[in-house]
Structure 1
Amino acid sequence: MKILIRADGGKTIGMGHIMRTSVLAEELKQFAEVSYACLEGEEFDLGVSCLKQNGYSVLRLPKEDLLNRLKDIDYDCMMVDNYNVDSDFFNGLKRKGTLLGYIDDLKKEEYPVDFIINQNPYALDLNYRKEKYLKTFLGIKYVLLRKEFQNQSKRYIDPVCKDILVTVGGSDINRITEKIILNILKEELEVTLHVVIGPAFPRGYLDTFSHPKVKLYHNPTMSNLMKKCDLAISACGSTVYELAACGTPAIGIVVADNQIMASEKLKQLGIIKASNIENILDSIKEMTYEKRLEMSAKGQELVDGLGAKRLASEIFNLINERITGV
């Protein structure tokens, strides 16, 4: 059984597509040969390097001939996690006997694929026409989190907020991290900031930053750091689901347009407090013990970290049915 994943990651577009597909790939490779197809170009080298370090075979393809090159690859199932696609792209990939899936966030259109994956909490609100697909995998029960976030124990919430995590994801081309830090440090709060430097951050960014209340982390074990902190300030990407699994209350900041719907839905569910950089100090002050306690419980109730296992099992069944005809 051969599965091909089409995704890219890099300093400009970030590492989100690579990180979440590799979580799924880790589960899929227990019963299938999983490889990747990524674009050629220096911009995408970081994503390719990450995949190769984790043992995946990666095909580098030219953007101008991408569709034709993908047609020549042998696979039983291809999954695409990329925003630069349209119906013509998927129609061009269709072939007898294989499955085609799309990992969606925004529902720009309903693509001609066999199955749709949308792991976001607002997915069910998008009203996919389920009759168009063999299967739809919608909602946070399918959220793709690494093994370290599975079956977390109930979180203890300290009445005093002393440690705050700051994380905006794998890349930070707009240098938002420093703006968050400086806004918090405007007042003498009795807190320590634990700041994560992502793998695709600008080279040398924050290397010389020094403050007694700020600790910088490169490549930490995120679940441990999340459980160490009483509160997190996070971009509204996959990290907010990791925080929910750990029971760490979070202030969510939208750093890209594709995070707007997630921010609004998670705020509605009581999982995060939505804020912006300018108001971050006020938002921190509003995070009382009672509010953090409530958010922690709701987060762990919503996210159990087993989404990748659920999804891999169901995708295997789909492929197996297609191959065997049973």
Structure 2
Amino acid sequence: MQKVVTKILFRCNAGKKYGFGHLTRCLALSETFEDENIQTFFLIKTDEKSTISNFLTMEGIRPSKYIFIPEDTTNSNDLSKIVEIYKNGYSFLVIDHYDHDLIYQESLKEEKIKWAQFDYKANEKILANMVINGNISANKEMYKNIVSQNTLQCVGYQFAILRKSFLNQFAIPQKNRILIALGGGLYPAELINMVKLITDQQLFDFEIITNDIRLQKLFNNRPNVRVYINTNNVIPIYKKCECAIVAGGVTTYEVAALNIPMLIIPYVENQIWNAIAWDRNNFAISFKDPLHFEEILNKFGLSNLINKLLKKFEKKNNPNRWFRSNKNKKYHNQNNNTE
């Protein structure tokens, strides 16, 4: 008798507008599923096909494992493509984007599709079989009025999703070497201006990881600034940094896993609560937005901010409970229970 192959479909967004966070955490889940002989496939909405293709190639993902849909795809056409692929032997769908609404979810239900849905704000009805919110500020109480009692809740820090390569790694920091990693999308003007202001601090060396080519042109002749464009070999760069300046997304988990303190400057809504939670757990100092950070930086200077951060970091909650085992396995176990 032929063995039935389990197949999981990922539907996520990635590119200039969306950044790389959705795709990165889906790749982390896919990595674990593939280790368990579960086949995965990606349906990716993007405004930057060539950049995302190059990124996936660097991650070892073959072109046969994904297809793109354009940025202007309507929800109706998006759903049609999901259904077309899903009906070809798939048993589960993972949605990691925020373009959906209740009608979108009802359409998936009508097609008898089982799915997990990433969420961060817990303020709209969720019809999915599983909700995923691995933010360290999240808890199940947030979802009691918006999901059914049958919905599996992968909610809270124990469901933080991280690539296996980051597990059991530790930083070997060099004094005054600062990581700047503000996400994979196209930076808004206020973020570019903030990075310029930060890197004017000549006492420090800066390692900038980005997909925004403009930063390479800006800092091409700055001896204290190195810019890495579209690199996937980030761990050696992270590990040598004394602290990190990040935006509050997926990168915060990667940096925290390496035990690196953070200055977190959110610039989109879904980063804010995560930034606040890392601050409360003494992993970071968080700021309201780039303008707020610039105000504090101009008032106190980067040296004083980092000294304050390092003292705070000594009081942090133990990261070992979060990052020393593969939490993707927890998600996998929950997923098996949806059958």
**How would you bin the TM-score normalised by the shorter chain?**
0.7 to 0.9
Q: For each residue in 1:84-121, what CA deviation from the matched residue of structure 2 results, as whole angstroms up to 9, or x when unmatched? A: 11122111112577521101112231311111111111
Question: Which residue pairs with 1:89 in the alignment?
Answer: 104
Between 1:207-216 and 1:60-69, the stretch displaced more is 60-69
Instruction: Give 5+ residue unaligned stretches, structure 2.
Output: 1-5, 288-292
Aligned-pair CA distance for 1:125: 6.7
Structure 2 distance, partners of 1:112, 1:13, is 24
Does the CA-based 8 Å contact 1:249-1:295 persist in structure 2?
A: no
Q: Tell me which stretches of 4 or more aligned residues in structure 1 moved more than 6 Å.
A: none
Aligned-pair CA distance for 1:183: 1.9
User: TM-score normalised to the size of structure 2?
Assistant: 0.81
Does the CA-based 8 Å contact 2:283-2:313 persist in structure 1?
A: no
Question: Which residue pairs with 2:265 in the alignment?
Answer: 253
Q: For each residue in 1:197-233, what CA deviation from the matched residue of structure 2 results, as whole angstroms up to 9, or x when unmatched? A: x23x1x4443252222212223162222222011111
Query: What SS class does the counterpart of residue 107 from structure 1 fall into?
Result: coil
Identity %: 22
The residue type equivalent to 1:248 in the other structure is I
Does the CA-based 8 Å contact 1:121-1:262 persist in structure 2?
A: yes
Question: Which residue pairs with 2:168 in the alignment?
Answer: 151
For residues 1-326 of structure 1, the aligned pairs below 5 Å read: 1-30=6-35, 31-39=37-45, 42-43=47-48, 46-47=51-52, 50-51=55-56, 54-55=61-62, 57-61=65-69, 62-63=73-74, 64-73=76-85, 74=87, 75-94=90-109, 98-124=113-139, 127-129=142-144, 131-153=148-170, 161-175=175-189, 178-188=192-202, 190-196=203-209, 198-199=210-211, 201=212, 203-209=213-219, 210-218=221-229, 219=231, 221-275=233-287, 276-280=293-297, 282=300, 284-288=303-307, 291=311, 293-294=313-314, 298-304=318-324, 306-315=326-335, 317-319=336-338, 322=339
User: TM-score normalised to the size of structure 1?
Assistant: 0.84
Structure 2 distance, partners of 1:222, 1:280, is 26
Aligned-pair CA distance for 1:239: 0.8
The residue type equivalent to 2:223 in the other structure is P
Distance 1:99 1:181, change over 3 A: closer
Structure 2 distance, partners of 1:261, 1:240, is 12
Number of residue pairs the alignment of both structures matches:
311
The residue type equivalent to 1:147 in the other structure is K
Q: Root-mean-square deviation (CA), in Å?
A: 2.8
Between 1:132-141 and 1:303-312, the stretch displaced more is 303-312
Does the CA-based 8 Å contact 1:143-1:305 persist in structure 2?
A: no
Instruction: Give 5+ residue unaligned stretches, structure 1.
Output: none
Distance 1:204 1:293, change over 3 A: closer
Structure 1 distance, partners of 2:227, 2:68, is 34
Does the CA-based 8 Å contact 1:9-1:44 persist in structure 2?
A: no
Aligned-pair CA distance for 1:68: 2.7
